[in-house]
Amino acid sequence: MNKLEHIGIAVRNLEESNRLFTRLLGVEPYKMETVEREGVRTSFFRVGDVKIELLESTRPGSAIDTFIEKRGEGIHHLAFDVHDVQQKIVEFTHDGFKVLTDKPLPGADNKVIAFLHPKSTNGVLVEICQDKD
């Protein structure tokens, strides 16, 4: 893995959370977008070399909606930049990690992504991502 790319934080209300994190971090979000496939709206803040991604559910039953219902707002995942998501999926699967997809999926912020199930990573949802070509 190359670096920590971003920290994903599940929130109930994106507008309120954007105001809170703007005050906290001293910067405005640089991007907002919706990922329909995942049922999520996101905003991104840049803090040094790391990004903070706020995630709000856009529909009942989405992964973020389910997460918040079970655990409340808070850290949802850690995302790591990799050179080749598809190759990492193969490597992690071979090494015994439970990868949630067998191929990369489109994600927010011009990325292709895959997730490792928290049951195989000490309770932490791990995302691997790379820039789309």
**61-102 pLDDT, tens per residue?**
999 999 999 999 999 999 999 999 999 999 999 999 999 999
Displacement of CA 131 from its chain's centroid (Å)? 14
Task: Give pTM, 2 decimals.
Answer: 0.93
The whole-number pLDDT of residue 7 equals 98
When pLDDT is cut at 50, 70 and 90, the band that residue 133 belongs to is confident
- Give just the sign of the alpha carbon dihedral 120, 125, 126, 128: positive
Q: Is the pLDDT of residue 107 over 90?
A: yes
